Amino acid sequence: MNRTEFLRLLADHPVPSLLLFEGEEEHLKHEALTQLRKKILPEGMEDLNETLLEAPDAGEIIAAAETLPFLADQRLILLRDFPALTGRAEAEDRLLSYLPNVPPTAVLLFYCAQKPDGRKKLYQAIRKHGVIVSFDPLKGAELTSFVTDAFRQHGQECDQRTAEFLIFTSGSDTNQLLREVEKIAAYHPDSPFVDPADVRTLATPSTEANVFQMVEAVVAGQEARAFTLMRDMLRNGEDRLFLLAMLLRQFRLLQHVKIMQYEKRNPEFIRAALGVPSFAAQQYTRQAAAWTGRQVKEAVALCLDTELAVKSGKLNAEGSLEAVMLKLLTARKKA
């Protein structure tokens, strides 16, 4: 079940007694927890009807679930990053046997910061007897609407293209986007509209956006700018191998664009195939136009071969990214 389906369930149906929240979208997960609390915990009775358990044994979990709620229909038992889901431990048989019998007066919620191991006995038991809610990153129109709605809460209107520009610049993590929205909205608090120039000036670029700019600099033959962007990312703690993988991803995207252009696909088909907003698709298409199909293919091969050489121990990670950048810049100068 995804986030939207879960919120619909909260609105129209009783809350299941056994739940698992998983996935990397922590902000959306927290919002869903807030909605769940509003649904089952009467105002003023929240503390009396919620129990937070940290690495409890089966007996503690069962005891909490069997405790009747106080002036409420259900009580909430919250277990964050339970070791039998996220670590090496396995759930006690007593707990596994109890899960089908969690009373309707309890909501037993396992809350995981990431996606737990689906092979675990506990995960399988929750999937069989309860409801698993996955909080995956928002995409496309849903993510764009998230940004425009966030600006609207600050009293400002943001058009779709500006929202896509912010997503392209700062990434798709909703927590990060909310911080960017707050910062941009505060810059001109009395303005009824979001100025794209403020996004360009104030938004914090994601690693992906910085890699895009680095490739832009390579395209333009701007060696100093390309290496400055690379060094800034390394100085900020990014790993060379990770940046090499991001560079490979960038050129693979450009390769996909070149192939689809050769097949005479229309811009909307290209956008959908790339799985990115319209603004981002336009940027990738523009960047791809500066390269021939052969150049992009050679860039992909260079990044891939270097990555494999580093991972196999044939090449030292130190200097590997710099060597790739020099070869790309040399190739551009010869073109």
Domain membership of residue 282 as a residue range: 207-334
240 and 163 in one domain?
Answer: no
Q: Are residues 12 and 120 in the same domain?
A: yes
- Residues 106, 221 share a domain: no
Three-state SS for 126-180 is HHHHCEEEECCCCCHHHHHHHHHHHHHHCCCECCHHHHHHHHHHHCCCHHHHHHH
pLDDT value of residue 106: 92
130 shares its domain with 158: no
- Same domain membership, residue 128 and residue 12: yes
Same structural domain for residues 280 and 328? yes
One domain for residues 216 and 327: yes
CA proximity to 3, closest of 22, 319, 17, 15: 22
Domain end residue (candidates: 112, 134, 156):
134
- Quick one: 21 and 100 in the same domain? yes
- The CATH number of the domain holding residue 188 is 1.10.8.60
Number of domains, the chain: 3
Give 288-329 as a DSSP string.
Answer: HTTS-HHHHHHHHHHHHHHHHHHHTTSS-STTHHHHHHHHHH
Q: Are residues 238 and 293 part of one domain?
A: yes
pLDDT tens by residue, 175-208: 899 999 999 998 888 889 998 888 888 998 888 8
Give the pLDDT mean for 302-321. 86
Count the residues in the chain: 335
Q: How confident is the model at residue 19 (pLDDT cuts 50, 70, 90)?
A: very high
- The pLDDT of residue 230 is 86
* pLDDT band of 110, cuts 50, 70, 90: very high
**Of the listed ranges 66-70, 152-156, 244-248, the one predicted with least confidence:** 244-248
Mean pLDDT of 90-97: 87
85: which 2 tokens? 């889901």
The yes-or-no verdict on residue 150 having pLDDT over 70 is yes
Last residue of a domain, one of 78, 111, 134: 134
Q: How far apart (Å, rounded) are the C-alpha atoms in residues 13 and 120? A: 29
pLDDT for position 334: 64
- pLDDT at position 66 over 60: yes
- Whether residue 324 sits in one domain with residue 252: yes
Q: Is 6's pLDDT higher than 80?
A: yes
Helix (H, G, I), strand (E, B) or coil at 115: coil
pTM for this entry: 0.72
